[in-house]
Amino acid sequence: MLRDAVRSLAEAKIAPHAAAVDEEARFPREALQALVAGDLHAVHVPEEYGGAGADALATVIVIEEVARVCASSSLIPAVNKLGSLPVILSGSEDLKKKYMTRSPRATACSPTASPSRTPAPTPPA
């Protein structure tokens, strides 16, 4: 079911923008918006912090299905997992609450949709 849901979302919302993302060498904002709307950008976040609490296999399925249509966009869930795993494994409860809980001010590349402390750099033109 997860694979089918991600594949459907990726084909409908991410694939139409993949060529432009590559040609313009830009961050795939459309993919981020689609993944956040589908609650698929950071499925590994534990349930107690508002995430799906998915295991590593589910996270890989999300990455794989997004990568089928846009390799650049697949880095969103991949980097979210990579960036937040140290906090999940070793962070204090305060750090987990600070960085794992959802925020309406989510920004691109924020590991778990928490507000970013430093804006993401703008890629060169």
Please state, in angstroms and as integers, the Cα–Cα distance from residue 74 to each residue in 47, 66, 70, 97, 114, following that order. 22, 5, 6, 26, 19
Residue 77 dihedral angles phi and psi, to the nearest 5°: -70, -30
Six-digit token pair at 9? 């979302």
Six-digit token pair at 39? 């609650």
Give the type of residue at 99: Y
> Angle, nearest 10°, between helix axes 56-69 and 71-90?
160
Q: How confident is the model at residue 110 (pLDDT cuts 50, 70, 90)?
A: very low
pLDDT tens, position by position, 22-68: 999 999 999 999 999 998 998 999 988 888 899 999 999 999 999 99
Residue 110 dihedral angles phi and psi, to the nearest 5°: -70, 125
Domains along the chain with CATH numbers: 2-100 (1.10.540.10)
